[in-house]
Structure 1
């Protein structure tokens, strides 16, 4: 089973990315996380320097479309099966890049997918 990379992870409990890390771990999903500030959420270490992983299944985005631009090449280089664009992260330009690299994407809410057992 591949891991989920949470891009835009936050240490703030009121953020959806924070909740997503907790819900992913509660569902026994393996998780790695990237955010502006280093720290721990649940049992996941949030890093603020890009890491190269070879087993990323899903990237779930909590970065707005402008902030995503800096990470296009990085995310594509990970070769995930899919990228989830959570509400507020929609990005037609990135959809095209992902499609041209054979990477699936969906506009969805990670929290809803988990709560309805569709993750």
Structure 2
């Protein structure tokens, strides 16, 4: 099997931007060679409540579902989901000053992007 290059970003929940504290909540992986763009996420409600008990956790999950929709190219992602794959990844990885923020872009190689996404989620989020 040939190795495929990929890029990924870790999605962070930053309940209070002024405190610069965050919890990793998801991963987005993009592999151009296989037209693979997918998000996987897990919200640890207890850890996030520890940072800010007032945080609207349902809204956090909705934001992550939106990102998942952008990656999947379905209606959950709105107009951004209609763009080409590389532009959707660009949209997701662009820094924002919201509660859900992407970390820096990282890269690697894999033979199975789906399995790599699951591995990254387990290693960096769960």
TM-score normalised by the chain length of structure 2:
0.30
Bigger radius of gyration: 2
If each structure's helix is expressed as a fraction of its own residues, which one has the higher value?
Answer: 2
TM-score normalised by the chain length of structure 1:
0.31
